[in-house]
Chain A
């Protein structure tokens, strides 16, 4: 009901800076250049003295999440005409209109022992109405960041009509040390780089982890034996086990099927690398490609019916799509240079990839038929894109040049705007963005 009400629209990209809003608050995310939507987050009310610090932290993080998208612009508190110090008080709309705050987010925080309750409301200032009902999240104090992310996801969802991505995690490879002695560990973090936790030690090389669709497991390539093998790790218990592979064959580049029961991966047998599908529980597998070339980096379509992958069967790395049961593959990349690491977007409409051309690396997106290719980044070495749960943002690794080169994670939105590093204590590579948390 509410959603339908909100789907009256103000296309901000066409209207330019929307100082005179003519309908209900609505940010339609398009590929055009947009003016960020101004919003205000007065400090959330601390409902008891113990909640003061958390209330301040939560409201700051909500604002940071929204402003960090590049779609919203926070109006600083110094510009506020009236305070909104009580969650229960009536919104003084004229005061917020006067400073052009189109969205107003208010909240209240209660702490009792280790328990935390966060309440919030979202107001459409120019319509003079609340958007949706108030929401309340309960949890523990040490999980305050997640509750702030949930508030921001709710606000983002109500204003854009799309799902958010703030309460999500990313599994990646944490890197330390110089290039010729690089220590790599699997690690997990919040989408914004907070709460880094290690899942493996650095005793053996690990590469290219992928989250399961519901985020409970991670699959990755391990060199613990000196040969690439696929390991499966339960995130909650950090328990690992090796998936079965046949004798004489080396397995890498694993990805989960959409239901998490199967794994699509590459197997090298001698100099030939092909794509296989394996059942995690039974260990049975079947071969999906039969070519003497390198077929790797598979990615399933959201409906599970197709696989996009890279192959150098034409002489250089290019992207191909085939049925998820194998069979004929159609080449979809035809631009200059070489294309690798395709990843199907969660919306199904785009494929992100790494492109190498003229000595530079790019992260780009194209439609699933290869049309409308768009390069989002350019650097000495960008690779390994992964999609935010809502398909609006791509995270990837960037390595800098030379003997002192280091790797970092970056994110960029699919229009190429808002390129920024993910703040991390160490280097990072091979991100895999997990689902929104329940």
Chain B
């Protein structure tokens, strides 16, 4: 399969799980709990509720779909590793799912550098998940740099939430 075909397939699949990505489809707060109540989650019945440990919602909310980083770093924190341990375990249990890991930066930086920085963060997550046994062929990384903030104040409280890598899961097969 060519790279482009693969990318297109993943792109299609992501649409089905897209509603669980609060940073792009949520009501604006980016808070997963708010997004769950926003009414935008039309697919939740099919995919299971937040109490179903096999559901994407459980992954996003209970395990945690994101880890945070200090300014201009891509080093995983102890808390981040703990979340990623949960992600790795979930991905191994739920082998139907693929993951796209999105790296993000806060607004304190130039645009293109922040794309590179987001790739570093996403790659740090991917490498950790690989070390915990998740097959490399179930994961891809991308970076949005500073283009997709979830918090919009220009203060560290917001910046800290924006410096993140989000593991976006999508079901590998539609059937």
Task: List residues of A whose CB falls within 8 A of some B CB.
Answer: 178-182, 184, 205, 207-208, 221, 223, 225-228, 246-248, 250, 252-253, 266, 268, 270-271, 273, 294, 296-297, 310, 312, 316-317, 340-341, 354, 356, 380-381, 383-384, 399, 401-403, 405, 429-430
> Which of A250, A384, A430 is B142 in contact with, Cβ under 8 Å?
A250
Q: Is the CB of B28 within 8 A of A273?
A: no
- Shortest 4 CB-CB distances between A and B: which pairs? A271-B123, A294-B116, A247-B3, A271-B120
Q: Is the CB of A268 within 8 A of B152?
A: no
Dominant secondary structure of chain B at its interface with chain A: mixed
Given contacts A205-B144, A226-B142, A271-B119, contact A317 B110 (CB under 8 A): yes
Given contacts A180-B28, A380-B154, A403-B153, contact A226 B11 (CB under 8 A): yes
Given contacts A228-B142, A248-B3, contact A340 B110 (CB under 8 A): yes
Residues from chain A with a CB closer than 8 A to the CB of B48 are none
Given contacts A270-B141, A403-B153, contact A356 B109 (CB under 8 A): yes
Q: Which residues of chain B (123-160) have a CB below 8 Å from chain A?
A: 123-124, 126-127, 140-145, 147-154
B96 in contact (CB, < 8 A): no
> Which of B10, B113, B145, B147 is A297 in contact with, Cβ under 8 Å?
B113
> Which of A182, A207, A223, A312 is B111 in contact with, Cβ under 8 Å?
A207
Q: Mark B95-119, 1 if CB is under 8 A from A, else 0.
A: 0000010000001111111011101
> Which of B30, B142, B149, B151 is A227 in contact with, Cβ under 8 Å?
B142
Kindly name the residue among A253, A271, A297, A312 whose own CB sees the greatest number of chain B CB atoms within 10 A: A271
Q: Is the CB of A384 within 8 A of B110?
A: yes
> Which of A207, A247, A253, A384 is B147 in contact with, Cβ under 8 Å?
A207
Task: List residues of B whose CB falls within 8 A of some A CB.
Answer: 2-3, 7-8, 10-11, 14, 28, 30, 72, 74, 100, 107-113, 115-117, 119-124, 126-127, 140-145, 147-154
Chain A nearest Cβ from B84, distance in angstroms: 15
Given contacts A180-B150, A226-B11, A250-B119, contact A266 B143 (CB under 8 A): no
Chain A nearest Cβ from B24, distance in angstroms: 9
CB-nearest residue of chain A relative to B153?
A403
Q: A227-B140, A253-B115, A354-B110 are in contact. List 8 more A-B contacts (CB 8 A).
A: A180-B152, A207-B112, A226-B10, A252-B115, A273-B116, A317-B110, A340-B112, A356-B109
